Amino acid sequence: MKRGKPMKNRRLFCLLSVLLAFALAAAACGDDDDDGGAIADCEVNETDGNLNIYNWAEYIDEEQLAAFSDEYDVSVTMDVYDSNEAMQPIVAAGNSGYDLIVPSDYMVAILIAGGTVQPLNKDAIPNIANVSDDFRNLIYDPAGDYSVPYQWGTTGIAVDTAALGADFPRSWGLIFDPAIADEYSGSISLLNDPRETIGAALKYLGYSLNSTDEDALQQATDLVASARGRLAAFNTDSADEFLTTGETVIAHGYSGDMFTQFLETDDPSQYVYFVPDEGGTRWIDNMAIPFDAGSPCTAHTFINWLLTAEQGAALSNWNYYSTPNAAAFGGLDEDLQGFLSTPGVAPVAILEEIQDTGDFEVKFSDAFIEAKG
């Protein structure tokens, strides 16, 4: 995964930061019009200035940005952030200087509610037709009026078959069932992330990872707490490396992280990544334009350019994450196509997206603190 280690804290929810960002957005924007703000008056391939991008670390090749710069005769600069919560208040406060941001699913809804992103001029993005049907009518932006999917992946378990063999249960029980997991005590890691880790326990127990039932949450909290003694660590930044260096043999983690790390070993086939049979997370990162972008037409042109078959494939072939761009599928590297088509890597029917649960978010955070002890 070329997205960089700091981004792996991408789903660390913090209710206080969310509330702060809403306040900042209100202060910066005032009362929005009922239509959610003006749509930029842009033509296809129009540029109106240089492009300033705010993105996850190592999520796009600098050479790809240079290609856009050369083709449209604009300069492109990119700053990076390590979590949605770090990005949000900066953009919401106004005068950030950014023309394009890459928020995750749940954060898109928060940005829309706060007036932080502007509605898209879809006429200036004809290649939006290349977005797969699986990435339309999304709960956080149902009509796709404010965002366009950028990349996506799943959260599940990776294992070292040298330790587990080939015949192991494809279940969260590898971590949470003592009858299975005790054999690997001290060699298991869970993500240091409240929604992902409490969510994994909720899925194992048969609940939605977005459940706001307090009894379900307490059961999940107790389950994570009971697994604590079997863990090498709650770790997000190095979960993939811990697995391939032998520090762990079972690791909770993100699909692209794990796949890229496997490829850096002498025998990638020794490692297996899968979403457990009980289900797991599908996360989607998106392109959106801040409400006060200085070059909104250049941003629209960049979105349209990245949605071509060639550029969509180039993006995934560099960062090794899945593409929502149906036109790009045929251009994906053979290794990446093989990984994405492996049973269990992206089983759509049992995947859920993490949603913003409003005031309940603080209860997830508190539950995680309790579970970690």
Note the pLDDT tens digit of each residue in 294-307.
999 999 999 999 99
Q: Is the pLDDT score of 161 beyond 80?
A: yes
Note the pLDDT tens digit of each residue in 105-148.
988 998 999 999 999 999 999 999 999 998 999 999 999 999 99
Question: How far is residue 310's CA from residue 346's CA, in Å, rounded to a whole number?
Answer: 23
Q: What is the pLDDT of residue 7?
A: 40
Q: Is the pLDDT score of 334 beyond 50?
A: yes
pLDDT band at 65 (very low <50, low <70, confident <90, very high): very high
* Fold classification of 15-152+284-338 (topology level): D-Maltodextrin-Binding Protein; domain 2 (3.40.190)
* Fold classification of 153-282+348-372 (topology level): D-Maltodextrin-Binding Protein; domain 2 (3.40.190)
Mean pLDDT across the chain: 89
Question: How far is residue 9's CA from residue 338's CA, in Å, rounded to a whole number?
Answer: 27
Q: What is the pLDDT of residue 12?
A: 39
Note the pLDDT tens digit of each residue in 225-274.
999 999 999 998 789 999 999 999 999 998 988 998 999 999 999 999 99
pLDDT band at 36 (very low <50, low <70, confident <90, very high): low
| Model pTM score | 0.76
* Residues 194, 13 contacting (CB under 8 angstroms): yes
Question: How far is residue 345's CA from residue 273's CA, in Å, rounded to a whole number?
Answer: 7
Question: How far is residue 343's CA from residue 273's CA, in Å, rounded to a whole number?
Answer: 10
Q: Could you tell me the sign of the dihedral formed by the alpha carbons of 64, 138, 202, 170, in that order?
A: negative
The CATH 3.40.190.10 domain(s) of the chain lie at: 15-152+284-338, 153-282+348-372
